[in-house]
Every structure is written in C-alpha cells, then in structure tokens.
Structure 1
Amino acid sequence: MTAQGHGAVPRAKWTAPSGKPPLSSRMMRATWRGLPPEQHEVGWEPGLVVPAADGSPLLTDHYFPRTAGDFPTLVVRSPYGRGVPWSPQYGMLFAEQGFHVVLQSCRGTGGSGGRFDLWRNEPADGQATVSWLREQPWFNGTLGTIGPSYLGYVQWALALDPPPELKAMVVQVGLHDPCALFHTDGVLHLENALLDGLGMTYQHRGAMPSLKAMLRLQRGWRKVVTARPLRGAHTSVLGEVPWLDGVMAHPDSGDPYWDGADLGKAAERLRVPTALITGWHDALAEQTFEQYGRLRAAGCETSLLVGTWTHTSALQRGWPEVFAESLAWLRAHLCDDPSGLRPTPVRVHVAGEETWRELEEWPPSHGTAPWFPTADGHLTRQPSVDSAPLTSFRYDPADPTPSVGGPLLSRTAGARDNRALEAREDVLTFTGPVLTEPLDVLGPVVARWAISTDTGYADVFARLCDVDAQGRSTNVCDGLGRLRTAGQELAEVTVPMGHTAHRFAAGHRIRLQVSGGAHPRYARQSGTGESAVEASSLEPVRITLHAGSALALPLGAAGA
C-alpha cells in the first residue's frame, strides 16, 4: 500500500522511537484470554501534539508495530483519556496485530487544549487529525477508525465528509444521536444522563478522581434523583457540568439546541465499509439498528453483530467476540485479507436458545403476531369483543415505580428477575398460556395501548418478559411512551420496545408488563404537565387500559 491519498507527499524515512507502552497497559493486556496471539512487538510514542482546526493542541499517543514495513493506521479519538482501558484495548491489541494506532484525547479532555463541548467540535477536529496524519512519515495513506460509545460518535463525525484515505469503520455500541441518548419522547433518561456526566467529566482525569466522583455520586444518588426540581441537583456530586445541564433542559429533538447533533445522516450516503456491533441490552442499541438500516438503504457494505451484552459488557465478557469481529473487518478492508469475514452480513445471539444465528438481513421478514391483554390478566391471541375498560392502576410519583435492569449504562443493566417489581400494585402484568413448543421472536417489538387517565398526563412503560416454569419473570425488551391528552379522553399510545432475538422455550410463558414509569432510569412523570427537570410538585394519576391494546411480536420464522 502506498501513500497515494489526498495531498500525499513523498515520505521521509522514519525511525521508530524506543518507548514501550505503559506498564499498567501491559499488565492489563496480560490478563486477557481468548484473543489471537501477538504478531508484533509494540512500540509507543506518547504525548504528540496534533493541532486542531483552531490551533488547540490535541494530545495524541501513537502505538505501532516494531517491524519493518508499511502498516495501515487506525484513529481512535476519545473524551475518556488515553490510559487504561483504551491504551491496552485499542492501542496495544491492534498495534500487535499490524496497525499504527493513533489514540487521541478530544479537546478539553485528557490534557488536550480547548473546551469540551458535547458533539460540537468533532467533525472539524477529526478532519484536522487526518490532515496531520498526511504529514507523518509512517502513514501509508490507508486509514480506518474504531471505538465504542462516544468513540463511535467521532467516527460518524468524520464520515459526514469522509476523507479519501478512510477505507473502513468499526462502530462498537456506538452513538450518533446525543438527544436520543438523553431523552425518549420528551422523557429524560435520568440515570444514563448522570452516569454519562460522571464519565465525561472525570474519567479522562485518571482512576483516582474518577473513583472519588463515583463514590460521591453513590452517596448522593437518592438525593439527586428525587430532587425537586431536578435541574441543577447533580452539581452537589458532579460539580458544574454545563453541557449536562443543557441536555437535561432540552427534551425536544427539534429544539435549536440540538442543531447539528444528530449525525445519522452520515450513513445515508456513506460508501466506507462499516461494521456495527451492539448488545440486546446496550443503551445505544436502537441507534445501531437505525444506522444499519440507513447503511443498507444506501447500498454501503456493512455488517451487524449483536450479542446478549450490555453497553459495558460488550467490551468485557464480550470482548473476544467483539475483537475478532473488528479485527476481521479491518484486515479485510485495510489489508486486503478477507479470510476472517463471516459469510453473512448479520450475526445475532438468540437469548433463550443461547446460540448464534447467521442471517442475511435484519430484521428477518417473517411478519408479526398480535397478542391481546384481557381484563383478567391474561395475554391471548384473540382480541377482546368487550368494549369496557380492561383494568386500571394508580401511579404515584412520590413513590415512583422503580427500574429493574434493561438497557442502561450501569452495572445493573441487562436481564433481571422482575418478580419483586411485578408484585407492586402499580405494575400490571398480562401473561400468556404455557407454550407447548418454542416461540422465536426476532426483530422490533411494539406495544399499542388504548389508554385514558384522570389528569391527561402519564408515561407508559411497557416490558416484554419471559416467565419460566418456576415463575421467574425475566425482562427481554422494553420501552416508554408519553401520554398527553385533554383530561380523561381516550388516546392511543404506541410504545416501541426495541429489537430483540429471543426464544421462549416450551414450558415458558410470554408476559407483557405495564406501569407508569421506571425510575430513576427515566425521570418520573410529575403528573402536573410540568417538565420533569423543572417540576416542583407531584400529582398521582390513575391510568386506565382499554380494549384495543395489543402487543406485536415479530416472528422468528415463517408461520411461527
């Protein structure tokens, strides 16, 4: 491969520095199992200064193979620092497999100059980094990007105007729409907002400041999440975080505050081969599925890997699978070695079946099966012919329905036992008959509710659960919708519950759960019509479900 990209100039001879990667990174690297053997000894060139478009210094570490020859380059731009785990997980692991790795701190973080401002500077700073690369004697003109979460966002920022050298992207549990990370239908994702504020503010400062901030947040957690009003309450544990205050106070994606934040359109015309990786309980899973659909519609070469992971476990227990997928994609498109690619564009882990399934598309096109809640708490295949209300429950924001598991950023994310939650009076369940044969559900799940309230203001949290023979109810997928009506009039609320690949085994039952919220995953509905961030008073609401409500399950196979 030669440096024939945009603005290529004859390369000067480069003498590799003698530095070794940090001891902490080498020690962590030694603990990982299930990864391919090291192919190259790794060198380290720390603290390089890359000028941003406005001249701000972006501190950058360079990892490289200590082997003569040309190697492609990977750019990893992070607001979380350049130390553990990013140094071993991306710098070392990929350099030892034959890549130059440029690990850079986003502006205002990790010693880089300027001020960090969520999303606003990433396109220009990414382009400035590529301009700097073109001047490096070791850069051979072939470039890829990789990284998770916000490290995926900076990839989409570069893809808005992809440089000609960019030949591959790997977006792992990635972000492209910050508003959707923080809000659903105008409802604040309170827990994720606080945890994201913690990570963005402290992780790049090192292990000890980050640990101290986490302990402060844990000690002050209940006080913060129940504060009235919510706005500004986080400063008691996180300090001043201007961008966090901003995103919490702007729940409407159409607000000018969010102009330029959503980078989804980058996928609509992209021609750079892009691998997407997520987990069924990843807080950003739906963003990954959105981008997969856009890439496919644009005719862009893409692949999708989905495991039974959360946002964090994909990079922990899922790392051997994620690393193998990422490495194969990069070798295929940067090194002309497609031998590691799988034969199908989609690979998903089916929970309940506990096997991987290879698919040609996502979601599979096998139709949907409707299930209907009944007044006596059952879930049937036959719609009700009775026009009377099915049932009702009272939601009290002074004692909000708690959240249990699901797609969160915290360690409590994922599949959990819901029995204690379902024993509450403010949680209704509708349960199907014992299955005589397995039922596969693959694709997006949707609940449609015919609903009324006594106040006109309510949130509706819907969850699909798998009930085993012992009665344990485990969450599969879920979602939340907001009701806004004039008083007690009947309304229809559609609740997208996310994508899933799940097998309900013979002897199990399908359960649909409904409540008025899931706190503190979502900020509680005040019942007054006020913004959850600004509300200072609370009012209980009675929520009534009516005939016409239904659960739509995507079938896993034709005729299932």
Structure 2
Amino acid sequence: MPSPMPDAALGPPWAPPAGKPPLSARLLRATWRGLPARRHEAGWEPGLVVPAADGSPLLTDHYFPRAEGDFPTLLVRSPYGRGLPWSAMYGLLLAEQGFHVVLQSCRGTGGSGGAFDLWRNEAADGRATVSWLREQPWFDGTLGTVGPSYLGYVQWALALDPPPELKAMVVQVGLHDPHALFHTDGALRLENALVVGLGMTHQHRGTAPFLRAALRLRRRLRAVTTAQPLRGAYASALGGEVPWLDEVMTHPDAEDAYWRGAALTEPAERLGVPTSLITGWHDVLVDQTFAQYDRLRRAGCETALLVGPWTHASALQQGWPEVFAESLAWLRAHLCADPSGLRSTAVRVHVGGENAWRDLDDWPPAADATSWYPAPGGQLTRQAPTDRAPLASFRYDPADPTPSLGGPLLSRTAGPRDNRALEARADVLTFTGPPLAEPVDVLGPVSARLSVSADTGHADVFTRLCDVDPQGRSVNVCDGLGRLRTGGPAPAQVTLPMSATAHRFAAGHRIRWQISAGAHPRYARNPGTGESPVDATAFVPVRVTLHTDSALTLPYDSGPT
C-alpha cells in the first residue's frame, strides 16, 4: 500500500473527532490486488441516526476523505448490515478515492427502526435520507448512488422521483423486479427464495451469525426443498418464520395485487441520470440488467454496460477489480468532471470460449438468427424437419427430480460446469451438432421453440445450450425454463427465452441442446397435477415427449455493419 498522502493528517473543518474505519474493513481492503492507489486517508463516523419519513431511525455510517475541500457524496443503502464486506468495498475504498460515503441500514435491519418489508419502504426512506443529507455541512449538493443486488433496487426506488442532486448511478448485479427474482413463468425459483431469505434475515446481524445460518441451510437444504408441502418448510433452516418470504413464495402471478408497485420498470423508461450497469453471464439478475439497459437506451439516457464472466457473487469477489474500476470511472466522470477513465464504447462484454473482452456500440449487437433442429439419434442439425412427429421422450419423476447444475444461481455452485453426469441421466435429452469446421460466435439473446407434450398435461421444460469440447466435456452456456399447461396429452408449442450470451464455439467443438423437465432445487418440483408446487402433497411422474418441429435459435455474430 502506498504511503499516506500529504493531506492524511488534515481533518475537514466540519468533522467531529472521528476514528479510522473499522479494523475489519482495513484488513479486508489489504487483501485486494489490482485496485487503484488511494488518494486520501479515510475517516469514519459510525452510528448516525437519520429519521425516516415516519420517524423511524435509520442507522447510518459516514465515511469521508480526511482532507480539505468539497467532495461529492455516494449513498449506499443496504438490508445486509453496515459491516463486511460493504464497509470495505464501499465505505473505505470510495472514501479513499475522494467521496463522502453514506452507508445506511434499511429499516428493520442492522439496528435501524421499523420492520423490514421487501421493497415497500425504499422509495420513501431514500427520499428522507436525501433530505437529511441536505442539512449536513459536508454535503456539497452532488450525489451519486452505487451498490449491488438489493442495493441496486434501492437506487431504482430513489429514481422513481430522482432528487435534483442525483447526478449518477452505478447498479451492480442489480435488481429492479422482485417477482422475477422469485418466479419464472409460474415456477418458483426455490433456491433463490431460500438464499435471499437467508441473507435478508441473518446477514445484517453480523458475520458469525450469518455463517452459522448459512451452514444450517446447507445441511437442511434437501429436507426443505423436498418437503410436502413446501409451504413453511423453510422455517427450520432459516431459524423461524419469515412473513415476507411466505408471501413471495405463494404469489406466483406477477399480476397479483401483492406485487403491485414492486417492479421498478418506470424509472428506466424516463430516467435522465447517467447510469452504469454491471452484471455477469451467470448472474441470477443478468436478464433484469439487460432489461434495464434496453429501457435506459430507449429513453435516451447516458448508459454503460459491463458484462463479465461472473456469477452474482463472483462479480464482487474475483471480478471486483474490474467492477470497482468500472464503477469508479463512471462516478468520477459524472460527479467529479473527470471522464479520463471512461471507455469509448457503451458496452463491454467478456466472450466465453475466446476468454477475451470485446467492446461494442450497443447490446445486443447485430446478429443473424440461426436455427438448429433436433433429429433422430440425438443429432442437432441445420436441416429443418418436414413433419411434426414424436422424436424422443423421457419420464420425469418428482421423487427423483432432475438436479440443477451450475448456471445463474445464488449459491457457490453457480456458473459453468461439466454437464456430462447430468446428461447421462435417463430424464435428460441431448441433441448435439457435428464438430465445427470454424469458430462460431454467438452474441445476443438465445431462445428455443419446443413442440412438446406431457401425458398429464402439466410439466416444466428446462432447456440449455452447451459447448462440447473435443474431449466430450459439455459446459453450460445459458438456459431457460417454461411451464406446460395443456391439461391433456396434446402437444403444444412453447417458446422459451434462454437468457443471452457472448460465447465463441471454437473449431472442433460441438453445439449441444439439452432438454429436461426441471432443475431442482433451482426450481421447485412440478407436481405434474397442476397444483401449486408450494402446497402440493401429491406428486405424479410425467412422460414428456419432444416433437420434431422444435428449434434452437442462436444469434450468430454478423460482424461490423
């Protein structure tokens, strides 16, 4: 670490006797490599009380550069406490770079008053915090926001009615639609729900309690996710009932009145605040980030997008040097009038398979939609079928559900994985193309059109794109799930979005399309009866049949236009 800056001994004239940032934050900061050198020593005012609109005390820590002069302010509001890792990643690091950082615990968490209620209070509490900021002698009238996951949601909540001081936002692996975090086409994203419940319930209580709770959930995960019924089964793993978790698990319909006001799509449709978006290809919120980017661009808002080879967690771990550099450059450009760190293009993506970064003018780039079709013998071909005949079938048994493997998860098993053991199961179909004569770049949204039937009329369909190397290793690239609701055995056409990718299939590799009827416990088991997966106590096996008039559509990179 470089020697202290010359201004390190100086304290701003307004500052009370404030100590150094917490030792835990300084120790964590010392473990990071590849970060920019600090510009200032940081000071710390812990435990400030900010009154919410209803008077509830919102506990807040203030980090600041120990130097003379005016500095812009960053607001970071979190339901996960104000300790590690947030104290180091946002409080300490950004104060060292010349920002006041206001790190606040959302109501009902981290010692703040009131009761936490997922999403419902964030807009009002954010506005109240900005009102408090205006009264602080160190606030110079220039405000930015930054943060990941739910810390991104609170930024969108503030942007519902953006204060005039708000000049920049940095949303890292960020949420704007809680319903989509918990449900996909009526299917409960079970593992997401449990991990979010764990974080919201325990992380703000400190590192040790959170780790104990995480270990308890890991030990009891199978028992909880296979309980009949699912409703309430999580309590033994999470240490008690979590009322908001019961609510989100039992309201699968996005149009239900319960979700009214939850999805913050409106701010991005009219926002004028320059906004940087950061995500990873295996982030559980990657599709939400792409939706945010699309709305901001259509609104004419200045926007940047960074997509790395990360999961939700690894973006803030292995990817932290890139994420921090991107965030800092955006904040300096728009809060400090220093655009020197900005790149020349709006979009930068990491291309899997090629293991290289690529700068683009927009997302998605121009592409040629190319279809691949399943054929007898597990082949994947470019030749379209001439009929609509049954092609292959398998039996899905909820008592032995097809397991989830890798992909966009919140757990440590997320990301690219070797799928060969999964694909050896009798309840998984694979269709594989011939070895490629030359590299194929796939950039953009991937989708599948399936002609499929289920003998009970009720089943889920999980579809995945994989890259098979010459040694036979099959690695997941992107995937998607949809629900079949025919009420009978007649085939139905189901179009499934499979997220998006930037991936190079190298020469000699093969493109594989994987199809099954679930990915448990990523998604709750479909009982096969049409009953709610949360309340079902009876599960029946389902025979799923794929028909020839199905297709996998890939966006082949068409190159410069």
TM-score band by shorter chain is over 0.9
Quote the residue 2:464 is aligned against: 463
| 1:17 and 1:44 in contact (8 A); partners too | no
2:374 maps to: 373
Distance 1:219 1:97 in 2: 42
> Could you tell me how far apart the structure 2 residues matched to 1:505 and 1:367 are?
18
Residue type of the partner of 2:65?
Answer: P
Q: Which residue of 1 aligns with 2:515?
A: 514
Amino acid at match of 1:151: L
In the other structure, the counterpart of 1:537 is 538
One-letter amino acid matched to 1:195: V
Match of 2:75 in 1: 75
1:486 deviates by 2.9
Structural RMSD (CA): 1.1
The answer for the alignment partner of 1:435 in structure 2 is: 436
Once the two structures are superposed, the pairs formed by residues 188-199 of structure 1 within 5 Å of their partners are 188-199=188-199
**Given that residues 468 and 508 in structure 1 are in contact (C-alpha distance below 8 angstroms), is that contact kept between their aligned partners in structure 2?**
yes
Amino acid of the structure 2 residue aligned with 1:28: L
Do 2:387 and 2:549's aligned partners in 1 also have CA atoms closer than 8 Å? no
Structure 1 residue 147 and structure 2 residue 147: aligned?
yes
Q: CA deviation at 1:518?
A: 0.2
1:342 aligns with 2:353: no
* 2:299 paired with 1:298: yes
Quote how far apart the aligned CAs of 1:15 are. 2.9
Q: Does 1:249 align with 2:250?
A: yes
- Whichever residue aligns with residue 489 of structure 1, its letter is A
Moved more, 472-481 or 208-217: 208-217
Letter in 1 for 2:155: Q
Residue 220 of structure 1, CA deviation: 1.2
Partner of residue 399, structure 2: 398
- C-alpha displacement of 1:222: 1.1
- Aligned residue identity for 1:20: K
Structure 2 SS opposite 1:211: helix
Deviation (angstroms), 1:375: 2.2
Maintained 8 Å contact 2:13/2:68: no
Shift of 1:18: 2.8
Structure 1 stretches of at least 4 aligned residues deviating more than 2 Å after TM superposition: 15-18, 557-560
Q: CA deviation at 1:557?
A: 2.2
Aligned twin of 1:132: 132
Contact 1:61 1:102 in 2 (8 A): yes
2:3 is matched with which residue? none
> In the aligned structure 2, how far is the partner of 1:481 from the partner of 1:191?
17
User: Per-residue displacement from partner, 1:484-533 (whole Å, max 9, x unpaired)?
Assistant: 00311121111110010000000000000000000000001100110000
Any unmatched runs of 5+ in structure 2?
1-11
Residue 7 of structure 2 is matched in structure 1 by none
Residues of 1 paired with 2:487 and 2:408: CA distance? 32
Distance in structure 1 (CA, Å) of the matches to 2:343 and 2:324: 14
Instruction: Give the AA of the match of 1:449.
Output: L
Tell me what 1:505 maps to: 506
The aligned amino acid for 1:108 is G
For residues 343 and 362 of structure 1, what CA distance do their matches in structure 2 show? 15
Aligned partners of 1:453 and 1:403: how far apart in 2? 21
Pairwise CA distance, 1:169: 0.0
Shift of 1:16: 4.5
8 Å contact from structure 2 (residues 367, 444) kept in 1: no
Are the equivalent residues in 2 in contact too, given 1:142–1:334 (CA < 8 A)? Answer: yes
Q: Which amino acid aligns with 1:133?
A: L
Residues 444, 555 of structure 2: 8 Å contact kept: yes
Question: Which AA in structure 2 matches 1:475?
Answer: N
Q: CA deviation at 1:559?
A: 10
Which amino acid in the other structure matches residue 536 of structure 1? T
- Deviation, structure 1 residue 384: 1.3
CA distance in 2: counterparts of 1:149 and 1:544, whole angstroms: 38
Q: Which amino acid aligns with 1:391?
A: A
**Which residue does the alignment assign to 2:180?**
180
Residue number in structure 2 paired with 1:115: 115
Question: Conserved in 2, the CA contact under 8 Å of 1:462 and 1:497?
Answer: yes
Which amino acid in the other structure matches residue 482 of structure 1?
Answer: R
Contact 2:198 2:213 in 1 (8 A): yes
Residue 236, structure 1, aligned to residue 254, structure 2: no
- Structure 1 residues 258-309: Cα deviation after superposition (integer angstroms, max 9, x where no partner): 0110001110000000000000000000000000000000000000000010
Amino acid at match of 1:200: M
TM-score, L = length of structure 2? 0.97
CA distance in 1, matches of 2:481, 2:560: 29
Residue 333 of structure 1, CA deviation: 0.2
| CA distance in structure 2 between the aligned counterparts of 1:351 and 1:92, rounded to whole angstroms | 33
The share of aligned pairs that are identical, in percent, is 75
- Cα gap change, 1:22/1:558 in structure 2, threshold over 3 Å: closer, same or farther? closer
SS in 2 for 1:406: coil
The alignment of Structure 1 onto Structure 2 pairs a total of residues equal to 549
SS in 1 for 2:377: coil
Name the CA distance, whole Å, in 2 between partners of 1:215 and 1:13.
47
Residue 557 of structure 1 corresponds to 558
Deviates more, 1:216-225 or 1:518-527: 216-225
Matched letter for residue 179 of structure 2: C
Residue 6 (structure 1) aligns with? none
Give yes or no for contact 1:367–1:558 (8 Å, CA) kept in 2: no
**How far, CA to CA, are the matches of 1:301 and 1:423 in structure 2?**
47
Tell me how far apart the structure 1 counterparts of residues 420 and 548 of structure 2 sit (CA, whole Å). 26
2:312 matched to which residue of 1? 311
Partner in structure 1 of residue 88 of structure 2: 88
Worse overlay, 192-201 or 214-223: 214-223
> Does the 8 Å CA contact 1:81/1:204 hold for their aligned counterparts?
yes
Is 2:309 aligned against 1:275? no
Matching residue of 2:548: 547
Once residues 266 and 379 of structure 2 are traced to their aligned partners in structure 1, the CA distance between those partners, rounded to angstroms, is 43
Aligned mates of 1:159, 1:367 — CA distance in 2: 36
Give the superposition deviation at 1:386.
Answer: 3.5
User: Does residue 355 in structure 1 map to residue 356 in structure 2?
Assistant: yes
CA distance in 2, matches of 1:380, 1:215: 45
Partner Cα separation in structure 1 for residue 508 and residue 265 of structure 2: 42
Answer whether contact 1:183 1:189 (CA < 8 A) is retained. Answer: yes
Q: Distance in 1 between matches of 2:13 and 2:360?
A: 47
Structure 1 length normalisation: TM-score? 0.97
Which residue of 2 is the match for residue 5 of structure 1? none
Q: Give the whole-Å Cα distance in 1 for the aligned partners of 2:246 and 2:558.
A: 46
Instruction: Give the deviation of 1:214 after TM superposition.
Output: 1.2
Hey, what's the Cα distance between the residues in 2 that align with 1:209 and 1:240? Answer: 17
CA contact (8 A) 1:303 1:346 kept: yes
Q: Determine the C-alpha separation between the residues in 1 that align with 2:519 and 2:228.
A: 18
Contact 1:524-1:532 within 8 A present in 2 as well: yes
Give the equivalent residue in structure 1 for 2:326.
325
Aligned partners of 2:31, 2:491: CA distance in 1, in Å? 58
For residues 15 and 362 of structure 1, the distance between their equivalents in structure 2, rounded to whole angstroms, comes to 45
Q: For residue 297 of structure 1, what is the amino acid of its counterpart?
A: R
